[in-house]
């Protein structure tokens, strides 16, 4: 029971921190929010591109191996 109470308290603290972080973000001027979202979007797009490149490389390897093993 004590472990559950401690665990619950940890979640309560985490929820409070998240709520505070969100309120400070919305208090930023619109231009600053735009720059933050754009930066995150650019980073996500770059990560997506890298993953697609890896996927295509592996798919090409698989296709070549399938052709060799016919």
Residue 6: what pLDDT? Answer: 54
- CB neighbour burial string for 40-51, b if at least 16 within 10 angstroms, e if fewer: eeeeeeeeeeee
Q: Could you count the other beta carbons within 10 Å of the beta carbon of residue 33?
A: 13
How many Cα atoms sit within 13 Å of 31 on the Cβ side? 0
Instruction: State the residue range of the domain holding 22.
Output: 2-68
Lookup: tokens for 12: 């309560």
Q: Is the pTM of this model over 0.75?
A: no
> How large is the average pLDDT for residues 12-18?
55
Do 33 and 25 meet the contact criterion of CB atoms below 8 Å apart? yes
Q: Which of 5-14, 44-53, 60-69 has the lowest mean pLDDT?
A: 5-14
Is the confidence at residue 4, as pLDDT, over 80?
Answer: no
Residue 70: what pLDDT? Answer: 84
Number of domains in the chain: 1
d(CA 14, CA 32): 25
Residue 58: what pLDDT? Answer: 98
């Amino acid at each position: 029971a004590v472990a559950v109470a401690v665990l619950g308290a940890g979640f309560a603290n985490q929820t409070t921190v998240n709520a505070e972080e969100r309120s400070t973000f919305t208090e930023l001027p619109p231009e600053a929010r735009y720059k933050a979202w754009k930066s995150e979007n650019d980073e996500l797009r770059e990560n997506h591109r890298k993953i697609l490149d890896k996927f295509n490389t592996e798919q090409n390897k698989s296709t070549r191996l399938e052709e060799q093993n016919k």
